[in-house]
Copies of this chain bind each other. A is one copy, B any other.
Amino acid sequence: MKATIKDVAKLAGVSFKTVSRVINREPSVSEDLQAKVWKAIEELNYQPNMSARQLRGAASFLAFIYDNPNSHYVIEMQHGILAECKRNGFELLIHPVSSGEGERVDELLQVANNSHVAGLILTPPFSESQDVIKALSERGVMFTRIISGEREPDGLGPRVYIDDYRAAFKITQYLIGLGHREIAFLGGEEEHLSSVERLAGYRAALKANNIEPDSHLILPGEYNFDSGTERSRKLLNLDEPPTAIFACNDEIAAGALFAARIQQVPVPQALSIVGFEDSPFSRQSWPKLTTAHQPNPAIAETAARLLIETVRSSRQGEEKPAADQGFQPQLVVRDSTCPRSS
């Protein structure tokens, strides 16, 4: 049926080992034979059998672990990882894990135990869970973490961190620069470090400008539309409603935008709204959302690259120093923000 290395060898008139050598570009095969072998490979449309190769050799799959399948950033990251995998001859195993309780660690260990899998790429909240990290590293599983905020190194594999703190600082600073003082903050699940970091950046910017944070304006919640709508409704019903809302992601911002519409509060004239993520929504809504752009494909690509490097160097016995890498989200000013009306 499918051509094997032996078929190629027979056609080329060499031993199958020689074919193996040619395929793997080992030295010490005469040009003469190389040409013959390549021709035979071409002719038979031969492709090495992955299973056999991996049985003998090393695992060549990365596993991408994520939680929220509905968020757009997942597919952006997936795309970046796929690109890097392709470049390195790796394949990708997709693994959504419901971030419920307990069993999730088992589930991850099972994935890691799959003999195809060389390592895991972890996104929040898994990448930020001490339990998960501990369990994985105890079993010698390799992984990269995509994580929010720079942390002191722990020597447990490379990390790609996103500087949410600084981005949130800049966003808040931008709003303050527009004259806003009553700036509400709509957080996401606190299980996600991104929400914590962004809140910290927000607070720091207020402080840097001598603005007293108002606890009525800082509302925890969830990273979704309804949570954004509900909290915004409350905010707008306040006696002294905020003149700007910093939403922890675009979906919350979408909710805020919606609530403002319902209550006929013009955006941005009476209420500036900023999101975070640069999702498709932020480019398609009216008004288009001011938000922070995260280079998700590049982030994920870097995570994949670092993991592959770690895997490779560990195979050669080297103890690779975990080289972290950071990314700065960029403020994208669109039409949902403007100077505070006097």
Contact = CB atoms under 8 A, between A and B. Distances in A.
Interface of A: 2, 45, 47, 49-52, 54-55, 69-70, 72, 74-75, 78-79, 82, 91-94, 96, 110, 113-116, 225, 251, 254-255, 257-258, 261-262, 280-281, 283-286
Q: Is the interface of A mostly helix, strand, loop or mixed?
A: helix
Contacts of A284: 225, 251, 254-255, 258, 281, 285
29 contacts: A45-B113, A47-B115, A49-B115, A50-B115, A50-B116, A51-B54, A51-B55, A51-B115, A69-B75, A70-B75, A70-B280, A74-B75, A75-B75, A78-B94, A79-B96, A82-B94, A92-B93, A92-B94, A225-B284, A251-B284, A255-B284, A257-B286, A258-B286, A261-B286, A262-B286, A281-B284, A284-B285, A285-B285, A286-B286
Copies of this chain held together in the complex: 2
Between A52, A94, A114, the greatest number of chain B beta carbons within 10 A of the residue's beta carbon is seen for A94
Given A49-B115, A51-B52, A52-B55, 4 more contacts: A51-B116, A258-B284, A262-B286, A285-B285
Contacts of A70: 75, 280
A113 B93 CA distance: 18
Nearest to A53: B51
